[in-house]
Amino acid sequence: MLSDIEISRQSPRLHIDELTRRLAIPSHLLNPHGHYKGKLSLALLKEPPKKHGKLVLVSAITPTPLGEGKTVTTLGLSMGLNHIGQASIATIRQPSLGPVFGVKGGAAGGGHAQVVPMEEMNLHLTGDFHALAAAHNLAAAALDARLFHEQRLGAGFTASTGLTRLDIDAANILWPRTLDMNDRALRHLTIGQGGPADGVERQDRFVITAASELMAILALASDLKDLRARIGRIQLALDLHGNPVTAEQLEVAGAMTVLLKDALQPTLMQTTEQTPVLVHTGPFANIAHGNSSVIADRMALALTDYVVTEAGFGSDMGLEKFFNIKHRQSGITPSCVVLVATVRGLKANSGLLDIRPGQPLPASLGEEDLPTLHQGCANLAWHIQNARRYGVPVVVAINRFPSDSQAELTLLADEAMRAGACGTAISSAFTQGGAGASELARAVVEACERPSAIKLLYPDAMGLGAKLATLVECGYGGRGVILSDKAKRQLAALSKAGWDHLPVCVAKTPLSLSHDPALKGVPTDFEVPIEEVRLCAGAGFVYALAGPIMTMPGLGSLPAYRHIDINDDGEIVGLS
Amino acid sequence: MLSDIEISRQSPRLHIDELTRRLAIPSHLLNPHGHYKGKLSLALLKEPPKKHGKLVLVSAITPTPLGEGKTVTTLGLSMGLNHIGQASIATIRQPSLGPVFGVKGGAAGGGHAQVVPMEEMNLHLTGDFHALAAAHNLAAAALDARLFHEQRLGAGFTASTGLTRLDIDAANILWPRTLDMNDRALRHLTIGQGGPADGVERQDRFVITAASELMAILALASDLKDLRARIGRIQLALDLHGNPVTAEQLEVAGAMTVLLKDALQPTLMQTTEQTPVLVHTGPFANIAHGNSSVIADRMALALTDYVVTEAGFGSDMGLEKFFNIKHRQSGITPSCVVLVATVRGLKANSGLLDIRPGQPLPASLGEEDLPTLHQGCANLAWHIQNARRYGVPVVVAINRFPSDSQAELTLLADEAMRAGACGTAISSAFTQGGAGASELARAVVEACERPSAIKLLYPDAMGLGAKLATLVECGYGGRGVILSDKAKRQLAALSKAGWDHLPVCVAKTPLSLSHDPALKGVPTDFEVPIEEVRLCAGAGFVYALAGPIMTMPGLGSLPAYRHIDINDDGEIVGLS
């Protein structure tokens, strides 16, 4: 089989003008970026809707290091819907440059279910991540500059500038700096060390751009005005009296919004079979809500019959956050959930195999092993029941690998139906494109006709502590939370400050339903320790840290960038 | 008069497709970015030239805090050439976001001589600076990751990875990190402080993106292959034995080039009068050579009759570096130099007035004051003679301000002719656009017909120390250089390593012909102290530090970002 970049290059593709024309989007609402991608103006949301599409939410079993092919299945399903004569658009997140150069060299799907041109998708795309980093770092620079000038001018600050002092507490700065890069040396640093003219010395940290609160804000904003208001609410620091210092108070919220004006527009691209794809934003599914943007979903739903969107990690992560955070803010409801499962991934979730990075894979993964698969299917059953809890029909997509036996595929499908799926289908989109996902597409169309009545885990009015306990009990299947003293104090302070109405976003490992990556399958007898809670006033949620969460990855000892280059024809090689 | 952004918004503008068509550029060689700007494919350089244009190099008197309007005059002259029936394109550098949010809120010309849409020019443009920062920071992350893994794995590094140790010396890392932001707190910092898993602790610094060696490389590269080769030559660090560690050795040069593939394409925009403008790169004129790109100049020269390009700061800086560095590498020769002068600027260069930031301006600046102007004209005379030294005719453009008296304008023009200008003309492009620069355009057309025979200050074969001495004596009018012991050692080492053939790039203040900003007018009795010299092996020059050079600006106490916002119609306000 050809490499991803070879398949991408050989795929017939529509000029962006033609792609836009087929969607009946007026040409003045497209801002082209090159010949094969373009940004869609927000004015499109003010046009009368051409369609009232149905949303299909793609989630998965508990992820494993093997990769379950969720993006491949999301794109494949959208192509499969086209294949059976249904109009469809996929909405997905933009990949981060960090992992592209660090670990894998590409994140635009794969095989015959890719976004093309894959190198444009995987590199700068239309610059949104860079714009977001600039807006983020402008706030950081503004904060440190204000700290510096207030300290430098002392009592004369107000007389000299006409501004009211903010009295920022250098020991309580909440806003890090950011780069879209895997750079562990920037996890912990001390800045402002040059002397009296070079800023105030203090500890600081960098997060990768996808981990910025601004990324969650961009993904949740309903329009430019809402974006501006959310940015104004961001709490950048505490002052010396413990009160929040917001971006509005620092007078930087307008300039940050100006930097994000174009980034608020989703980017239209296409798959290897010319199915339209909206690529937009990239919030993590741990410290943020892990889904593509509200604006992209809303635009797509007004343009087509089916919108297939992907939520990060397993159904305990991105899917939970889709309902309890994104749906709560946007009102957009899925008609059906697709859970991606693989034979290999369920075997790995059985807890019976010893899979470690850098070690050879256990032989059982590549051979028929029904007992191990059967044990792993408990994880699948849990995710099916979890998704059904939200009141929506569930289809299981079995992403087929060459080593899967027919008996294994049958077992998986039987277990899925037994656990409450309304349908199952094998997807071979990686090797066959949309034709390989047509069975899945039919199952999804059928599921979308079924009645659904959406139910959230908790009401707005529940207190933050009770929301956390409910999430752990009903959303993860655990016994409850253990709040650290710090977390208790923080929850009390948030409640007092009037933030009780917000939803909660738990940052935990995706590799287990619990907080502990070692607990495989369906753990039940666990309590989730919450070390710390933090307010994202702009994004509109409170996030809770359940264990160490990496917000700045590092490069490995054999990083992917070593093989990325241009060849003698000036073409990019090594992305795959 | 309207604000800059109001004028920009009201200017009639051509769709980028139409602008491209008028230049006879095939549509497949344009990569549009929105409706009013686009990148030109490098394949354009392989098409047969449509024209053999003449290059006009715009320089200026010694700059003052008042602003001489060099970009306004560069754009105005190009519009003026159109006005008198000549085809013309301007090539200018892209503004940095740092100053846009820090001090002035815009850098796309001004008044009726602007690049439009000015907000797109002043903000992300087509993302080149962001791409450059990503490529730069990838090398920095790769360097620290290699340092970390070699230290972590110790003697087992090679066995574990198959790679040869680089033995990077953490105390001799030459490559900083970068952000396109004014952020003084990042001038000096300590990274890698999180503990054994979070990198190697060491001192580091950030420079603003325009100060990256990559920016000079992008501006000097002749094509993608040359870019790749130059990036491979970058010396990122020294190893424990004092030998250079290059980007090629770190295996990161290919990935860096891939990140810069699109940034190597100039961006086509237009002025307020639809004159085409190529905007590309933004190297500083102190630690780098301070001119737009070789590729932009070459493309423009093959498309039109006159190309007007701007060199940074006074003729001792950007113009000197144009000849001795850029021309030396590209072979492109100007047919004429335009020196921009103002009555106010020459009064300020007289040394008779006390002008300080934050203080009211001396009354003499706004009133007729012939004696002060006469004294200041010595600076103009020096720049005229300096430019003539390179063998090219010189036209003086008098950028008119409302407070200038007729007697002052006449004196300025007389002094210019006496000093050897082949013509002078008043430019009122700021208020009148191209019509206000038609007299200047005629003078330039006439000058371009004159014979010229280009002469450089020194031959390749001269030693680096002798080049520095020649530059100070002939390029600045000083008595010579004083090399620190460190600089002497460095020059000897560079000579030994075989870099003697490179040109030198002196980083000194632009505010005086000397190294000392307090020496106004035409200082002569000075020696320039050289503290340090550094090799830019990728850019192809050796730069010498003559005094403290700021490579990371800071935000002031009343920064420009405070007034930048979106209004109720979603339009940007506050950029001007």
- The pLDDT value recorded for residue A356 is 78
Cβ–Cβ under 8 Å, residues B174 and B235? yes
CB-based burial of residue A569 (10 Å sphere; 0-12 exposed, 13-18 middle, 19+ buried)?
exposed
* Confidence label for A5 from pLDDT (cuts 50, 70 and 90): confident
How close is the nearest chain A Cα to the Cα of B143, in Å? Answer: 10
Interface mutation target, options B165, B198, B226, chain A, most CBs of A under 10 Å: B198
- The pLDDT value recorded for residue A106 is 59
Give CA separation, B335 vs B76, B219, B395, B454, in Å. Answer: 18, 21, 11, 9
Q: Are B198 and B228 members of one domain?
A: yes
Residue B39: pLDDT over 90: yes
Q: Flag if A31 and B33 touch (Cβ within 8 Å).
A: yes
- The sign one gets for the Cα dihedral A443, A445, A446, A452 is positive
Closest CA to A135 of A54, A231, A21: A231
Return binding residues of B for ATP: 64-71
In percent, the amount of chain A with pLDDT more than 90 equals 93
Q: Are B423 and B288 members of one domain?
A: yes
Which pairs with CB-CB distance under 8 Å and at least 24 residues apart come from A368-372? A368/A405, A368/A407, A368/A408, A369/A408, A370/A407, A370/A408, A370/A411, A372/A347
- B121-137 burial, b for 16+ CB within 10 Å, e for fewer? bbbbbbbbbbbbbbbbb
First to last CA, chain B: 13
- The pLDDT value recorded for residue A557 is 95
Q: Are B52 and B12 members of one domain?
A: yes
What DSSP state is assigned to residue A189?
A: E
First to last CA, chain A: 13
Interface mutation target, options A130, A260, A561, chain B, most CBs of B under 10 Å: A561
In percent, the amount of chain A with pLDDT more than 70 equals 99
Q: How many CB atoms lie within 10 A of CB B370?
A: 13
Query: Is residue A196 in a domain?
Result: yes
Which of B393, B424, B448 is the last residue in one of the domains?
A: B448
Closest CA to B574 of A233, A250, A254: A254
Q: A–B: how many Cβ contacts below 8 A?
A: 267
- The pLDDT value recorded for residue B103 is 84
Q: Are A382 and A346 members of one domain?
A: yes
Query: Is residue A569 in a domain?
Result: no
Residue A360: pLDDT over 90: no
Q: Are B311 and B443 members of one domain?
A: yes
Q: Flag if A561 and B251 touch (Cβ within 8 Å).
A: yes
* Confidence label for B105 from pLDDT (cuts 50, 70 and 90): low
How close is the nearest chain A Cα to the Cα of B387, in Å? Answer: 37
Q: Are B292 and B414 members of one domain?
A: yes
Backbone angles phi, psi at B329, to 5 degrees: -85, -30
pLDDT tens profile A468-506: 999 999 999 999 999 999 999 999 999 999 999 999 999
B322 touches chain A (CB under 8 A): no
B354/B342 Cα distance (integer angstroms) = 18
A212/A139 Cα distance (integer angstroms) = 12
Which residue on chain B is closest to A570 by alpha carbon? B224
In percent, the amount of chain B with pLDDT more than 70 equals 99
Residue bearing the bigger pLDDT, B6 or B221: B221
Which of A386, A417, A448 is the last residue in one of the domains?
A: A448
Interface mutation target, options A96, A118, A138, chain B, most CBs of B under 10 Å: A138
> What's the rounded mean pLDDT across residues B439-466?
97
pLDDT tens profile A25-77: 999 999 999 999 999 999 999 999 999 999 999 999 999 988 899 999 999 99
Among A329-338, B100-109, B150-159, B462-471, where is mean pLDDT lowest?
Answer: B100-109
> What's the rounded mean pLDDT across residues B458-470?
97
Q: Are A475 and A528 members of one domain?
A: yes
Query: Is residue A565 in a domain?
Result: no
Q: Flag if A192 and B197 touch (Cβ within 8 Å).
A: no
B555 touches chain A (CB under 8 A): yes
Among A63-67, A87-91, A114-118, A298-302, where is mean pLDDT lowest?
Answer: A63-67
> What's the rounded mean pLDDT across residues B434-460?
97
Query: Is residue A111 in a domain?
Result: yes
Query: Is residue A457 in a domain?
Result: no
Q: Are B422 and B535 members of one domain?
A: no
Q: What domain range includes position A470?
A: 464-545
Mean pLDDT value across chain B? 96
Among A180-189, B300-309, B501-510, B566-575, where is mean pLDDT lowest?
Answer: B566-575
> What's the rounded mean pLDDT across residues B488-497?
96
* Confidence label for A91 from pLDDT (cuts 50, 70 and 90): very high
A35 touches chain B (CB under 8 A): yes
B31/A122 Cα distance (integer angstroms) = 18
Residue A104: pLDDT over 90: no
Cβ–Cβ under 8 Å, residues B403 and B410? no
How close is the nearest chain B Cα to the Cα of A38, in Å? Answer: 8
pLDDT tens profile B224-281: 999 999 999 999 999 999 999 999 999 999 999 999 999 999 999 999 999 999 999 9
Residues of A with Cβ-Cβ distance to B177 under 8 angstroms: 186
Total domain count, chain A: 3
Residue A448: pLDDT over 60: yes
> What's the rounded mean pLDDT across residues B458-471?
97
Query: Is residue A526 in a domain?
Result: yes
Give CA separation, B289 vs B196, B464, B516, in Å. Answer: 41, 17, 20
* Confidence label for B178 from pLDDT (cuts 50, 70 and 90): very high
> What's the rounded mean pLDDT across residues A173-196?
97
DSSP A278-339: EE-----SSSS--B--HHHHHHHHTT-SEEEEEBSSSIIIIIHHIIIIIIHHH---EEEEEE
Q: Flag if B557 and A160 touch (Cβ within 8 Å).
A: yes
Interface of B with A in 143-172 (CB under 8 A): 144-145, 148-149, 153, 157, 160-163
Which of A448, A483, A502 is the last residue in one of the domains?
A: A448
Residue B288: pLDDT over 60: yes
Our measurement of the distance from residue B136's CA atom to the centroid of its chain's CA atoms, rounded to an integer in Å, reads 18
Report the length, in residues, of chain A.
576
* Confidence label for B106 from pLDDT (cuts 50, 70 and 90): low
The contacts of residue B485 (CB under 8 Å, 6+ apart) are none
B201: tokens are 């602790």
Residue B511: pLDDT over 60: yes
CATH assignment at residue B44: 3.40.50.300
Residue A105: pLDDT over 70: no
Query: Is residue B559 in a domain?
Result: no
pLDDT tens profile B76-104: 999 999 999 999 999 999 999 998 998 86
B187/A197 Cα distance (integer angstroms) = 10
> What's the rounded mean pLDDT across residues A326-353?
96
- The pLDDT value recorded for residue A539 is 98
B45: alpha, beta or left? (left if phi > 0; alpha if psi -120 to 50):
alpha
Nearest by CB to residue A254, choosing from B33, B180, B564, is: B564
* Confidence label for A183 from pLDDT (cuts 50, 70 and 90): very high
CATH assignment at residue A472: 3.10.410.10
pLDDT tens profile B196-211: 999 999 999 999 999 9
Query: Is residue B457 in a domain?
Result: no
The contacts of residue A46 (CB under 8 Å, 6+ apart) are none
A125/A269 Cα distance (integer angstroms) = 10
Q: Are B427 and B301 members of one domain?
A: yes
B364: alpha, beta or left? (left if phi > 0; alpha if psi -120 to 50):
alpha
Residue B357: pLDDT over 90: no
- The pLDDT value recorded for residue A407 is 98
The helix or strand, by DSSP H or E, that contains position B109, with its residue range, turns out to be: strand B109-110
Which pairs with CB-CB distance under 8 Å and at least 24 residues apart come from B366-375? B366/B403, B367/B403, B368/B405, B368/B407, B368/B408, B369/B408, B370/B407, B370/B408, B370/B411, B372/B347, B373/B343, B373/B346, B373/B347, B373/B408, B373/B411, B373/B412, B374/B411, B374/B415, B375/B350, B375/B351, B375/B521
Q: Are A305 and A350 members of one domain?
A: yes
Q: Are B285 and B433 members of one domain?
A: yes
Q: Give the amino acid at B429.
A: A
CATH assignment at residue B217: 3.30.1510.10
Q: Flag if A123 and B259 touch (Cβ within 8 Å).
A: yes
Q: Are B31 and B81 members of one domain?
A: yes
Which residue in the block uniquely carries the two structure tokens 């300290």?
A151
